[in-house]
Structure 1
Amino acid sequence: MKRMDDVMDTSNVYSYGIDLSKLKLDLPKSQKKHKAPAKRYVCIDLEMTEFTASQRSCVPGANGEVIQFGAVLLDENYNLLSEFSSYVKPAYSSVTPWINQLTGISNQKLEKADDFITVFDKFCYWRGEGDITTFCWSKSDFNQLWSELEAKGKHRYDLFATLQDFVDLQDIFGKLISSKTSVGLESAMRLLQMEYKGQVHTALSDSYNTARILHKLFCTESLEVNFEYINPSKEPPVNQKGEEEYNCSLASFLSPELLSQFGYTGASQEEEAEEKSIDNIAEDLQLLEASPLAGLINNEEIANLCTKYNIEVQSWLRLATEVMNTQEMQVA
């Protein structure tokens, strides 16, 4: 397959406040070490619709369908080569007001978009062949792609092969910072003292910022980052919303005894947890004020994030000091 840098799917390209061409001007140029890099990396992000209860059987294991696909390609030094961006027309669902508010995507914008298999095929062509590792922020994007391929493209064995090299960057970050809770993309950037660029909840922006975190972590040699590929046979189904929706809709009608059976915490427990959080934040603030980074960081923001994601301040300090001098992602 012919490999071209700066290939982009322009059939359904979108713009949501991030202009990578302008961002490239702000980044220093790095010398290309190889005409044809031996290793490349891809960071992807998806935006999706929400299924109704009757639609969930259309794509087993998924809560909705992909409506926006974004990705960036990095060279062997984790520097930016090109980007991919496309809307995706859903087959069974539509954009709800909530999804429209969250992503800015409307049903009208998807009317002339390609279907999922066509867009994924274009992504695979843009991605190219060879030694490539693909990163996503949480396994949910991987699970979504797998579920939609099973439902819509079982005949396309070549597309399934693309999913053999996926890695969960969120899991890597969580282990590096010793977090007991999955950390969101924006929160991870704040913990790394990085400013999010572009508009949140858009596929291209999120994939670009995921790549910036990848560069920061993997170019800090002292971290010695290890990872393993996602094994689809070990992944639980994505669709786990039923119980959550059941709890929320019936919470006001059930007795405390019944609510406890569904994992609902009572008011007294919530107040106790809130008091504990306040105590944790106060302790973390004291540690931060005495740290070598005092005066260089927003102590209150870091303390709140450490409490929210159950992170020990000392773990955050170790990671923050390690990556502090690692430069930003460049344009290859």
Structure 2
Amino acid sequence: MAFMKSIGTAALGLVAAVSLMAPAGAEPLAYPQKVVTLVTHSSPGGGSDVFLREMSKYLGKYIGATFVIENVQGGSGAKAIARVASAPADGSVFYATTPTYIYTSLMSKPQNTYKDLDALVNIFADSEVIYTRADGPYKTLKDVIDHAKKERGRWGVANPASLERQAAEQLKRAAGVTPAIVTHEGGGDMMLNVMNGTLDIGIGEIQEVRSQLEAGRLRLLATFNPERIADKPDVPTVKELGYDVALVKFRGLAGPKGLPEAVTKVWDEAVPKLLADPDYKKAYSAEVLVPQFTAHKDYPAFVNDFADKTEAFLKETGAIK
């Protein structure tokens, strides 16, 4: 996965409207919509849900709109993609992009795929980590692998079609073990199953588990980053522990096909200002998110390149034909 270094009924979950006034002396950019809905396939508490809710606290400083978060769960993101693909292309609805929407498109062949969305901008790179409960038997990744060699074990990931799932499969192959990979509809559910001992480990993002890490209930064992995380220097990489797997998750936004320039230009101008906001920077640094702004003119090519390489990888490994 070296290529990744470069980077039911629809369940409407908790919906939060965040109405923000611009600070004194500053004017947010004029925007063609008064209300913008940011859609995620994540359950409340999952990585994309946390990302959108935190970002929404600051977006109103820079874009003159009210931001609403909508959780549309089901189909490993397929229902959320369909929700956005069928919306008007007027800047009123966007989807939180991660590799999951590529994997879902390629592996489950939904009615709507990433090709039916218009990639808007990328905002962050997000570290994938392996974690376990602090009072459990595993102190290192080697302990987890040794257990898997003896008794298989159970590893958790957030979605059947996700970067985390592929990370788990790649680690299995690299380590020569066959644990059961247990999928969930969101990172919050997975974390609970790690904490209660149902799962040996979980694979996900730091923002999903930060509160439990700070409370001392969870322990980080390794990161899939190519290099150690700057804010977590004591956490080794999977690769340096002897398993040749490295990847980074991207986080951005996409809308319905045909977004007008009057919309894309506002986001291109606002996102760099948002990322430079000292209060927001403090917040996203605590979540170990790394700014990786990609403007609208370049983001579709980035997404398509990632999709092409992912498709080739999935065919190589037999995940798809």
TM-score, scaled to structure 2: 0.24
Larger strand share, 1 or 2: 2
Larger helix share, 1 or 2: 1
